[in-house]
Amino acid sequence: MDNTTIVDNQRTALGLAELGFDVFPLLPNQKTPALDRNWKDVATRDAGKVMKLWGGSYRACNIGIRTGLPLQNGVLVVIDIDIKDGKPGLQSIAELEDQLGTLPPTTTFSTASGGEHRYFVAPWPLGNSNSKLGPGVDVKCVGG
């Protein structure tokens, strides 16, 4: 991992925290929390803590966002569209949109495996699900 990626991770984590999201470090190229402690207790939007985490031992870490927390107009929910190991997440989400209508435009991040994370604000807290909406489509909200 080069210095540009490290600086970008710190800048991105700080930007997300400034937008009101609680962030925490994930092991590089993984979805596993990097800290031995409970990640829910470490997740923060405090700029100083974010700078310290991604400027120190966790410089090369990915960024996790705690979902399901109250925002100004609802709670954060992430639709995780997975294609890793042949999962048909993109096909499943396309079929859902054909049946129910197109999802509204939103912030979308590409995952390392080629899938997507789509970020939405729901008016009330939702639970989590794995592949209930379709194979390879997970919902992450309260506790996700």
Q: Which residue has the higher pLDDT, 71 or 59?
A: 59
Distance CA 44, CA 58 (A): 14
Q: Tens digits of per-residue pLDDT, 77-119?
A: 999 999 999 999 999 999 999 999 999 999 898 887 889 999 9
Q: Tens digits of per-residue pLDDT, 25-54?
A: 999 888 889 986 788 888 999 999 999 999
For residue 106, what are its two tokens?
Answer: 């939103």
Of 56, 78, 59, nearest to 67 by C-alpha is 78
Of 104, 103, 107, nearest to 119 by C-alpha is 107
What does the pLDDT read at residue 7? 60
What does the pLDDT read at residue 46? 96
Distance CA 89, CA 87 (A): 6
3-state secondary structure 57-94: CCCCCEEEECCCCEECCEEEEEEEECCHHHCCHHHHHH
Q: What confidence tier does 59 reach under pLDDT thresholds 50, 70, 90?
A: confident
HSE-up of residue 2 (Cα within 13 Å, Cβ side):
1
